[in-house]
Amino acid sequence: MTGHGFRSREAAVAASGDGVHACHCMDTTVDARGLACPLPAVKARGALAGVAPGAALVVLATDPEAPIDVAAVALDAGCSFEAEREGAAWRLTLRRPAS
């Protein structure tokens, strides 16, 4: 583990970008906290294009409408969808089918 709490240098570099990063496990996270509707769904739709089959896209959002909007993105893309509350934010997970 590096001094910043990341398991690898690649994860640390990936996490330092524009709110979208991939971890070493091939899942992708979009940090949309603080963004208002429709931006969490717009960011999710854009990031989903780069998610491999079987991998997940996790969207972190504070907008109260984000679960509804991101669920619609998942439905349109044929992904499974889960929403979990994490404090003041939502953790919205879209998983691409394996094949």
Q: Which residue type sits at 54? A: G
Share of the chain above pLDDT 70, in %: 75
In a domain, 1, yes or no: no
Q: Taking residues 21-36, what's their average pLDDT?
A: 79
In a domain, 34, yes or no: yes
Is there a contact between 23 and 29 (Cβ–Cβ < 8 Å)? yes
Q: What stretch of H or E contains 44? A: helix 39-48
Domain span at residue 91 reads 19-95
pLDDT tens, residue by residue, 58-80: 999 999 999 999 999 999 999 99
In a domain, 23, yes or no: yes
pLDDT category of residue 26 using cuts at 50, 70 and 90: confident
Residue 22, pLDDT above cutoff 90: no
Is there a contact between 29 and 20 (Cβ–Cβ < 8 Å)? yes
Q: Taking residues 27-52, what's their average pLDDT?
A: 96
Tokens of 57: 């896209």
The number of folded domains in the chain is 1
Cα angle for residues 6, 12, 15 (degrees, 5° grid): 110
- The reported pLDDT for the residue numbered 25 is 53
In a domain, 5, yes or no: no
Q: Which residues contact 68 (CB under 8 A, 6 or more apart)?
A: none
In the numeric block, the tokens 């998610």 are attached to 51
